[in-house]
Amino acid sequence: MKSRLRAFAYRTFYRLPGRWKRRIVRTFQPTYTIGSVILVRDPEATSILLLRQPPGAGWSLPAGLMDRGETPVQTAARELAEETGIKLPTERFRAANPNAVVHTRGQWVDMVFETEVEPADSYTVDAAEVLEAAWHRLDTLPPLTVSTSRLLAHYGIGPYKDYPEVLNK
């Protein structure tokens, strides 16, 4: 009986106009927000660029949400320029491994990219969004936000790098 009911539901669904089917699917399927995160390292890969953002409880990576019509790598380039003043062509970004980190509890996906730049003494930060941008050695990182610590663990960096259970959350 259950399989017959299910078959009937599918046949009915597939007969609906496309507009109705999309609305039904969007109503019942979980949606995810897509963002880009950038791991900016120095050429020797000993330091990483971090941001301190309001309220300033911890340091994080340059990141932001995709705009409509943007690709993830375009988002990465735009966010890095907006938050630090570092303007790089998209060709300078490469997909990190893993490239996508899915956060099922918060229902968002971080598309992670890597790039290298020469460290500068100061950066032009977006004062509304960023309090400070600074380089930090990988072996002496400052206090990080929890989400940044978890994300960096995927790349063998930070306080959670030796805790595999963090990667499963």
Q: What is the pLDDT of residues 39-90, one digit of tens each?
A: 999 999 999 999 998 877 899 999 999 998 999 999 999 999 999 999 999 9
Pair (13, 77) in one structural domain? no
Pair (90, 63) in one structural domain? yes
Count up the domains in the chain and report the number.
2
Pair (88, 149) in one structural domain? yes
Q: Domain limits at 83?
A: 33-167
Pair (10, 62) in one structural domain? no
Q: What is the pLDDT of residues 91-142, one digit of tens each?
A: 999 999 999 888 767 778 899 999 999 998 778 887 778 888 999 999 999 9
CATH number, residue 159: 3.90.79.10
Token couple for 127 = 């004062």
Pair (5, 67) in one structural domain? no
Pair (12, 81) in one structural domain? no
Pair (162, 102) in one structural domain? yes
Is residue 58 within 8 Å of 3, Cβ to Cβ? Answer: no
Pair (37, 26) in one structural domain? no
